[in-house]
Amino acid sequence: MRRGILIVALTLILLSGIYFSLASAVDYNYEVKQITDSKINEPWTFRAITDDPNVVQVTFHYWFPGNAPGNSEVDTKVVTGTYLNPFIATIIPDKEGVWEVHIDFQYTDGTTHGTVTHYETITEFDGPPNVVPEVPILGTVGVAVAMLLGFAIYKKRKA
């Protein structure tokens, strides 16, 4: 009798744990990645990814520097598809400064179920060109001089 009660209790605990783990698994991820550089007058591309199977449309809202969200958008890109494929949108920014991108993940009825905001500074250039830093060169020269001096002192003592 006790064994039967113990088995029933353990079964109920196990089933409730499975139920709550499945119920908590409904928390979906909404992620956006920038896949190109942030330069003026060059394509600026974002990839939106989700594991929410109900998302069928992603809307990208772009604002240029000085425009607060809600005032006036530079551009809006609507990308349709399924959650199995990434949603990709591209814009060519024409002003330098901090741009703001709002990405809305939407269901078939148009309701938004996830929003990601991305801020990026659009510049004319990437930055300084690739140069060889001076510190490693000076360190290498210093080590070479120290080795030569050490070798000279060793030879002088041996002779």
Eight-state DSSP code of residue 39: B
Residue 86 lies in a domain: yes
User: For residue 71, what are the domain limits?
Assistant: 29-122
CATH number at residue 80: 2.60.40.10
Give me the pLDDT at residue 22, please: 46
- Per-block mean pLDDT, blocks of 10 residues, the chain (159 long): 65 57 62 83 87 88 66 74 84 81 87 83 65 70 85 84
- C-alpha 121/C-alpha 103 separation (Å) is 17
Of 11, 69, 77, the closest CA to residue 44 belongs to 77
| Number of domains present in the structure of the chain | 1
Give me the pLDDT at residue 134, please: 67
Rg value, the chain, Cα: 30
